[in-house]
Homo-oligomer: A and B are copies of this chain.
Amino acid sequence: MVVPAKPLGKPSVDRRSAEGDRLTEAIELLFFAYRDFISDPDELLDEYGFGRAHHRVVHFVSRNPGITVAELLNILRITKQSLARVLKQLIERGFVAQETGKQDRRQRLLYLTVSGRELEERLAAPQRARVAAALEKAGPGAEDSWRKVLLGLVNDEDRAEVEHRIAKAPVEQH
């Protein structure tokens, strides 16, 4: 019985190879990590009657004070209507404030109020602690690898923009 020779060259991305299996495992790990990573804020959001969508808005407004609605839409990749729904609630309940743009008065610049900043802090704290613990356990160099890999997962077209948003992204290797 003739066993076909395994072709040489670039390692395959096929799961029938050991290489592919390792990738499948790496993918599966991302599922489990994300599942638990998200669980911390979820409980807290419940207390406020908010959901993950609110969390995302609060996070990005916190990170980009004065962000416009259009920019937020581009980050979240959801529709105007989906954003409007949660944004309206956050504004009504006093977590987010709007200001008319100075140069362009059509724009609504978004900011967190004091309550908004407090909410953001409460949401972020457990996630920061979780990530800090995971990075420390993974040893030195893990943070840099982590950043590089995550940045590499982003769509090519969007990478420059994401790098810009993330101030301290690792230097790209050529």
Q: Of A43-51, A83-91, A98-106, A139-147, which binds chain B?
A: A139-147
Given the known interface contacts A22-B168, A125-B13, A146-B146, the answer about A28 and B63 at a Cβ–Cβ threshold of 8 Å is yes
- Measuring CB to CB, which residues of chain A are less than 8 angstroms from any residue of chain B? 13, 15, 19-37, 39, 56, 59, 63, 77, 121, 124-125, 127-135, 137-139, 141-143, 145-155, 158, 162, 165-169, 173
Contact residues in B for A56 (Cβ distance below 8 Å): 31
The answer, among B29, B37, B131, for a CB contact under 8 Å with A162, is: B29
Neighbouring B residues of A28 by C-beta, 8 Å: 59, 63, 165-166
Contact check, B148 vs A139: say whether CB atoms are below 8 A apart.
Answer: yes
Alpha-carbon gap, A131 to B21, bound state (A): 12
The complex places the Cα of A163 from the Cα of B26 at a distance, in Å, of: 12
Copies of this chain, how many?
2
Q: Which 9 A-B pairs have the closest CB atoms?
A: A134-B152, A138-B148, A145-B145, A33-B153, A33-B150, A29-B150, A142-B145, A23-B128, A137-B152
Are B148 and A27 in contact (CB-based, < 8 A)?
no
Partner of A24, one of B31, B63, B149: B63
Given contacts A129-B13, A148-B138, contact A155 B39 (CB under 8 A): yes
Q: CA of A135 to CA of B24 in the docked complex: distance in angstroms?
A: 13
Contact (Cβ within 8 A) A13 B59: no
15 A-B pairs in the complex with CB atoms less than 8 angstroms apart: A24-B63, A24-B128, A26-B135, A26-B147, A27-B131, A29-B147, A29-B150, A30-B150, A33-B150, A39-B155, A134-B152, A134-B153, A137-B152, A139-B173, A141-B145
Q: Specify which chain B residues have a CB less than 8 angstroms from the CB of A128 in the assembled complex.
A: 13, 15, 20, 23-24, 27
